[in-house]
Amino acid sequence: MRVAVLSVHTSPLAQPGTGDAGGMNVYVLQTALHLAQRGVEVEIFTRATSSSDEPVVQVAPGVLVRNVVAGPFEGLDKYDLPTQLCAFTAGVLRAEATHEPGYYDIVHSHYWLSGQVGWLARDRWAVPLVHTAHTLAAVKNASLAEGDAPEPALRAVGEQQVVDEADRLIVNTDDEARQLVSLHNADPTRIDVVHPGVDLATFTPGDRDAARRALGLPDEPTVAFVGRIQPLKAPDVLLRAAAKLPGVRIVIAGGPSGSGLAAPDGLLRLADDLGISDRVTFLPPQSRDNLVKVYRAADLVAVPSYSESFGLVAVEAQACGTPVAAAAVGGLPVAVRDGVSGALVPDHDPDHWAAVLGDLLGQDRARRDEMGAAAVRHAATFSWDHTVDSLLEAYRRAIADYAHTHERAATRDPLAAPRRAGLRWSRRRGVRA
């Protein structure tokens, strides 16, 4: 099997926690690597963001990243990317045109921008389109942080088009599947629930004291936040809660992103206004190895987001033996077992967050160790191998259903199938359509 993966707005090679890079980047890269280990060839198409980007990068045997030139390399906001979808699509189609007909078996698009490109590629190549939304505009707009900008109507329209056109839809949780049905009238028989995974060989428990020394952190109760610095992720909620918890250190690891770019020093000013600057440590986005140290160094990891389709940070932290306090939104109730591997907070009230964090930090060592061990066991159920098992089942189902649909179309009207499938018949005879 050969899969064309589309990730227009962010590269799987980008450092998570910077710009628009986050859990989706990790998902795209890790699923590609694990698919390749099963003998599946994966080519990932993403937009080049630097003139120094090589056109093609071999990440591992069986995994290529193609950096497609579409628009200016730098300074192009994600919300301006729809203007470059034509150029990006042309780059994708030209890359495929250098191969023999039928080179790709399936297209897997990530995020709605990629879905727009995948829709055209599917019709041109006569292969099924599998789409993963990762987030939905309607869901984000229904739970905005105060003062945060809503997602534009253009995105909501584009998402509906992709939902209508995709042959199969991949979601992270049952809750996300219900949202697709209720908000976009998706056909539930075309939806597959595939939980994301975690690298269980990298994210493992370790020595908390050694991790703190490596990061230069004092030996005191510590709560960590890992992710992009933007209102959606709600790091301000954590700081406001910390102001009510004397003696607790907060570690913020990440960089400004999205609407957070409008005030990149906003958290610094908030910490100063709250009078807690001396016990807040700001770290830049971390490499995987250093991220493990952040998780191990913390007594708790907080995920106070207003919206999360899943929450990879929560699972990574638990894999390191660190309990998680998370907002009870989106996929986080799946990622965290309330009262077992951490705690779920029903809202974003700093008083409630302070109470939950204080309760977890105030538990005796035996109870905290028990919760840490439970966190490791819970995280172990989210391996990338399990994710890829489910993805492959979805791919096979998509290919079989697509073939069956077009065989029936050909039976009814011999000319309908090739018209619908990008003139596949003529291409099989060596004619470029």
Question: Which residue type occupies 234?
Answer: A
Going by DSSP bridges, is the β-strand pair 280-283/129-132 parallel, antiparallel, or unpaired? Answer: unpaired
For residue 8, pLDDT over 80 is answered with yes
pLDDT of residue 258: 56
pLDDT of residue 14: 79
Domain count, the chain: 2
Among 341, 363, 380, residue at a domain's last position: 380
Tokens of 353: 């967050």
Contact between residue 353 and residue 304 where contact means Cβ atoms under 8 Å apart: yes
**Mean pLDDT across 356-377:** 93
Give the helix/strand (H/E) hosting 319: helix 312-319
Q: Are residues 156 and 240 in the same domain?
A: no
Helix ranges (DSSP H) in 66-110: 85-97
Q: Is 67 annotated as a binding residue?
A: no
pLDDT of residue 164: 97
For residue 410, pLDDT over 80 is answered with no
Least confident segment among 144-148, 260-264, 412-416: 260-264
* Assigned domain for 6 exists: yes
* Assigned domain for 417 exists: no
C-alpha of 16 from chain center: 10
Per residue in 366-375, pLDDT (tens digit) is 888 999 999 9
pLDDT of residue 18: 60
Q: Are residues 167 and 299 in the same domain?
A: no
Q: Is 166 annotated as a binding residue?
A: no
Q: Are residues 310 and 217 in the same domain?
A: yes
**Closest listed residue to residue 103, CA positions, set 428, 433, 431, 407:** 428
pLDDT of residue 427: 39
Q: Is 111 annotated as a binding residue?
A: yes
11 pLDDT tier (thresholds 50, 70, 90): confident
* Rounded Cα–Cα distance for residues 332 and 309 (Å): 8
Report the percent of the chain where pLDDT is more than 90: 75
**Mean pLDDT across 411-421:** 54
Q: Is 412 annotated as a binding residue?
A: no
- With a CB cutoff of 8 Å and minimum separation 6, the contacts of 236 are 266, 267, 270
Angle between helices 288-297 and 208-215 (to 10 degrees): 120
Q: Is 233 annotated as a binding residue?
A: yes
More confident residue, 227 or 431: 227
Q: Are residues 157 and 179 in the same domain?
A: yes
Tell me the DSSP string of 320-385: TT--EEEES-TTHHHHS-BTTTEEEESS--HHHHHHHHHHHHTS-HHHHHHHHHHHHHHHTT-BHH
Q: Is 322 annotated as a binding residue?
A: yes
pLDDT of residue 255: 84
419 pLDDT tier (thresholds 50, 70, 90): very low
Q: What count of other Cβ atoms lies within 10 Å of the Cβ of residue 269?
A: 11
For residue 39, pLDDT over 50 is answered with yes
Q: Are residues 190 and 47 in the same domain?
A: yes
The answer to whether the Cα torsion of 82, 86, 91, 96 is positive or negative is positive
pLDDT of residue 7: 96
CA dihedral 254, 259, 265, 266 (to 10 degrees): -110
Contact between residue 326 and residue 345 where contact means Cβ atoms under 8 Å apart: yes
pLDDT of residue 405: 85
Q: Is 9 annotated as a binding residue?
A: yes
* Assigned domain for 433 exists: no
Give the helix/strand (H/E) hosting 24: helix 23-37
For residue 6, pLDDT over 70 is answered with yes
* Assigned domain for 242 exists: yes
Q: Are residues 275 and 132 in the same domain?
A: no
Tell me whether residue 79 is exposed, middle or buried, using C-beta atoms within 10 angstroms of its C-beta: 0 to 12, 13 to 18, 19 or more.
Answer: middle
Per residue in 272-284, pLDDT (tens digit) is 999 999 999 999 9
Q: Is 363 annotated as a binding residue?
A: no
CATH of the domain at 311: 3.40.50.2000
Q: Are residues 189 and 298 in the same domain?
A: no
For residue 61, pLDDT over 70 is answered with yes
For residue 20, pLDDT over 80 is answered with no
C-alpha of 10 from chain center: 10
For residue 47, pLDDT over 90 is answered with yes
Q: Enter the DSSP assignment of 234.
A: -
* Assigned domain for 191 exists: yes
For residue 422, pLDDT over 50 is answered with no
409 pLDDT tier (thresholds 50, 70, 90): low
401 pLDDT tier (thresholds 50, 70, 90): very high
430 pLDDT tier (thresholds 50, 70, 90): very low
pLDDT of residue 165: 96
For residue 351, pLDDT over 70 is answered with yes
**Mean pLDDT across 296-322:** 95
- With a CB cutoff of 8 Å and minimum separation 6, the contacts of 260 are 228, 229, 230, 231, 266
**Mean pLDDT across 15-42:** 86
* Assigned domain for 400 exists: yes
Q: Is 49 annotated as a binding residue?
A: no
* Assigned domain for 411 exists: no
Q: Is 244 annotated as a binding residue?
A: no
For residue 128, pLDDT over 80 is answered with yes
Q: Is 46 annotated as a binding residue?
A: no
Q: Is 159 annotated as a binding residue?
A: no
Q: Is 298 annotated as a binding residue?
A: yes
Q: Are residues 160 and 192 in the same domain?
A: yes
Complete edge-to-edge strand list for the sheet that includes strand 342-345: 280-283, 249-253, 222-226, 300-303, 324-327, 342-345
Q: Is 135 annotated as a binding residue?
A: yes
Among 380, 395, 423, residue at a domain's last position: 380
pLDDT of residue 416: 52
Give the helix/strand (H/E) hosting 300: strand 300-303
Query: What domain range is 285 assigned to?
Result: 208-380
Q: Are residues 256 and 374 in the same domain?
A: yes
Q: Are residues 108 and 241 in the same domain?
A: no
Per residue in 240-287, pLDDT (tens digit) is 999 999 999 999 999 886 554 545 588 999 999 999 999 999 999 898
3-class secondary-structure state, position 245 = coil
Q: Are residues 215 and 193 in the same domain?
A: no
**Mean pLDDT across 320-329:** 97
Q: Are residues 238 and 136 in the same domain?
A: no
What's the pTM?
0.89
Per residue in 194-212, pLDDT (tens digit) is 999 999 999 999 999 999 9
* Assigned domain for 173 exists: yes
* Rounded Cα–Cα distance for residues 17 and 201 (Å): 21
Least confident segment among 241-250, 352-361, 403-412, 422-431: 422-431
Q: Is 24 annotated as a binding residue?
A: yes
